[in-house]
Amino acid sequence: MTKLLISNDDGIFALGIRSLANTLAEKGYDVTVVCPDRERSAAGHGLTLHHPIRADTVDDIFHPNVTAWSCSGTPSDCVKFALSAILDGPPDMVLSGINHGSNLGTDILYSGTVSAAMEGTIDGIPSLAFSLASYTATDFSTAAQVANQLLAKLPPIPKGTLLNVNIPPVAKEEIAGIQLTRQGLRRYIEQFEKRFDPRGKSYYWLAGEVIEDIPQPEAKHLPGDVPTDVEAIRQNYVTITPLEFDLTNAQSFLSLQQEGMEGLFDA
C-alpha cells in the first residue's frame, strides 16, 4: 500500500486538506496528515527554533483510515516532525495542499504549501504541492479528483525535483488538460494600511492586489514557446511546474567567473 504524508499551510481544519486526504484514503492509500494547528499561509520555509513545538492527534474530522496530527509549527516544521518523530519509515510520497489559492510564479518564494512539499524533496522523497487557483472557491472535489488521477498515472519524478501543481477553479469538464509549464512572474500592488489599537498605538496591516497581464519572463534553458504557469492557468489548464531547491544561477556563475570575480581579493 502506497504511504502518503500530507501537509499544508492553511491549517488542520482547512477544507482543501480534508478533501485531498479523504479522497486518497478512500482510494486505498495509507494517509498520514501532519499540518499546522492554524493558518500559516505565506510562512515560506520558516522553522521554529526558539520555542517548543506542540503536537496532538486529531480525531473525527478526517476519513477513519486517516491518521491526523496538528502541530504548532510552520508547514516545514510539520513535515520535518512527521518524518523524524511520527512515521516509522519514510513515506512513498509527500503531498502538500490542496491550498486555498494559487501558488504561481514568484508566489512559490513565500508559499508554505510549496515549502512543506520541498521538505520532502530535500529528504529525497517524491513530492508534490497542490493548489486550487481561487481564494473564493469552496468546492475542492474536482481538484482532489485531479490529484488522485495524477498520482495514479504519475511517471517517476526526477531526483531533487518538486512538482508544483495548480488547478483551475472550474468544473472537471471545463479543464483544458494538463500542461507542463515554467515558473512565471507575479507582482503585487502592496499597501501597508496604518491602523491604531485601543491604546492608540499604531500598527500596520499588509495587503496586496495582484497585477494582471504583466509581461512574463523569457524562458531560460527551455524553448521560448513553453508557457508559464501564470499564462496556462488562465486557459484552464492544470499546470505542473518542476521546481528544485538548488537556486544557483549557472549563467551568472559563468559570467562572473569570466569577469574575474574570484580574483577581487588581494591577499
Q: Examine the pLDDT at 267 and tell me if it is beyond 70.
A: no
Joined together, the cell numbers standing for residue 180 give 507542463
pLDDT, position 63: 95
Which span out of 132-136, 208-212, 263-267 was modeled with the highest average pLDDT? 132-136
Question: Quick one: average pLDDT of 207-225?
Answer: 85
- Per DSSP, what are the bridge partners of residue 34? 69
Q: Which domains does the chain have, with CATH numbers?
A: 3-184+222-247 (3.40.1210.10)
pTM to 2 decimals?
0.93
Share of the chain above pLDDT 70, in %: 99
Average pLDDT over residues 227-251: 95
- pLDDT at 1 exceeding the cut of 90: no
pLDDT value for 102: 95
pLDDT tens-digit series, residues 145-179: 999 999 999 999 999 999 999 999 999 999 999 99
User: What sections of 28-154 are H helices per DSSP?
Assistant: 75-81, 112-122, 141-153
Q: What is the rounded distance in angstroms from the CA atom of residue 200 to the CA atom of residue 230?
A: 42
What pLDDT shows up at residue 211? 83
Name the band, by pLDDT with cuts 50, 70 and 90, for residue 119: very high
pLDDT digits (tens, 9 = 90+) for 71-95: 999 999 999 999 999 999 999 999 9
Q: Which pLDDT belongs to residue 251?
A: 87
Q: Which of 96-105, 191-200, 255-264 has the lowest mean pLDDT?
A: 255-264
Summary mean pLDDT of the chain: 94
How many helical (H) and strand (E) elements, i.e. helices and strands, does the chain have?
Answer: 6, 11
Question: Mean of the pLDDT values across residues 43-66?
Answer: 94
Instruction: Check residue 212 and give its pLDDT.
Output: 75
Q: Is the pLDDT of residue 140 over 90?
A: yes
% of the chain surpassing 90 pLDDT: 81
Res. 5: pLDDT tops 90: yes
147-184: burial string, b at 16+ Cβ within 10 Å, e else = beebbeeeeebeeeebbbbbbbbeeeeeeeebbebbbb
- 3-state class (DSSP) for residue 81: helix
Q: What is the mean pLDDT of residues 250-264?
A: 86
